[in-house]
Copies of this chain bind each other. A is one copy, B any other.
Amino acid sequence: TGAMEAAVANLFSPGDEVLVVRGGKFGERWAEIAQAFGMKAVPLDIGWGRALDPARVGNKIQKKPQIKAVLTQLVETSTGTLYDIEALGKILSETGAVLVVDAISGLCAQPLYTDRWGVDVAIASSQKALMTPPGLSFITISEKAWKLVENSSSPKYYWDFKKARDDLAKLQTPYTPAISLVVALRDSLRLIEKEGLEKVAKRHSRLAQATRKAVLAINLKILGDSPSNVLTSVVLPSKINGEKLRELMQARFGVQVAGGQGSLSGKIIRIAHLGWMDASDIIVVISALE
C-alpha cells in the first residue's frame, strides 16, 4: 500500500483524472489513495470476481482523453481474479494514458512482461511469490511514466522517485532500507533464477488447476470467470458461514485459509497457492475443507 501511495504521489498532481478499475478491495484502494491525494478517480466498476474487459477501458480513455492513467491490478487479491494486462497494455500504448499495475500478489505467480506488454508502472512486494517476509516493495517506471513524474506537483519526500533513481545509480537507497529483508530477498531471487521464471509461473498454474479441480470434485463452486494462479476463491453454499468454517479448519486441522472481504465476507474462503506453498499444502487444505 505504501508503494501504491508512492506511485500516486509521484505520477500525478491534484486535480488530475485517473481511471480506476474497481473489481475488489484493492481496486477500491487505488480510488481511495487517488482521492486522498486530490485526484479525480473515475471508477470503472466491473463487479467483484469478474474479468476485466480491456476494450471497455479503451473506450473510456477515447471518450475522456484527459485521463492521465489507468490504475489496476494484475491479480485482484480480494477475489483472486486475473486481469488481461497484456491486452490492456496494447490498447493503452496507443493512447496518452499510462498503465499502472499493482502486481503485488501476481508477480512471478503469473507472467508479467512490463516492456513487451506496455506496463508503464508495476508494483510488487516481497511477501507473496517472492517468498520473502513482508517489508519491501518494488516499482518499475517506463519512460512514458517518467514524464508524469517530472510534472507531478504532489507532496512527497520519503517516496520521491527521482531521489531513489539518483541513489540507485550509486547502488544506494535514499534512506535506511530494511537490510535483513534485502539479504533474504537475494536468496529468494537466486532460487527463482535457478528454477527459471517461466517454470515458476507454470508451477503456480499447476497448483491452481489442481486446487480448482479438487474444489469442483467436492461439489463446491469457484468464484468468477477469471481465476488466477495466486489463490482460489471458493463459493460456499448459503447455509455455511465462511468465518465459522475458517475457525473450524484452523482449530481442527491447523489449516489457515483467508475469508471474503467487503460484500463477499462470510460467503467465500480463499485458498492461497503461491510462493513457498506446494502440492502437499494443497492436499492438506483440501482434505481439511472436505
A265 at the interface (CB under 8 A from B): no
A127 to B175, CA, bound (A): 13
Q: Does A125 contact B (CB under 8 A)?
A: yes
CB interface residues, A 37-66, toward B, < 8 Å = 37-38
Known contacts A135-B135, A181-B135; A125 and B176 CB within 8 A of each other: yes
Judging by beta carbons under 8 Å apart, are B176 and A127 in contact?
A: yes
Residue pair B32, A134 in contact (C-beta under 8 Å): no
> Which residues of the other chain, B, contact A38 by a CB distance below 8 angstroms?
155
Contact present for A176 and B33 (CB under 8 Å): no
Assembly CA distance A25 to B94 (angstroms): 46
B127 and A157 contacting across the interface, CB-CB below 8 Å: no
Contacts of A127 in B (CB 8 A): 176
Known A-B contacts A125-B176, A135-B181, A179-B133; A158 and B37 likewise in contact (beta carbons under 8 Å): no
**Residue contact A179 to B5, C-beta cutoff 8 Å:** no
Contact B37 A134 (CB under 8 A): no
A154 part of interface (Cβ distance < 8 Å): yes
Give the contacts of A88-145 with B (CB-CB under 8 A).
Answer: 125, 127, 133-135
Q: Is the C-beta of A36 less than 8 angstroms from some C-beta in chain B?
A: yes
Q: How far is the CB of A142 from chain B (nearest CB, A)?
A: 23
Asked whether A1 lies within 8 Å of B158 as measured between CB atoms, the reply is yes
Closest to A14 in B: B155
Q: In the docked arrangement, what's the CA distance between A4 and B175, Å? A: 12
Mask for A166-180, Cβ within 8 A of B = 1, else 0?
000000001111111
A262 in the interface (beta carbon within 8 A): no
User: With a CB–CB cut-off of 8 A, which chain B residues contact A134?
Assistant: 176-180
A165 at the interface (CB under 8 A from B): no
Chain B residue numbers with a CB within 8 Å of A179 are: 133-134
A206 within 8 A of B: no
Closest B residue to A135 using CB positions? B178
- How distant is A32 from chain B, measured CB to nearest CB, in Å? 7
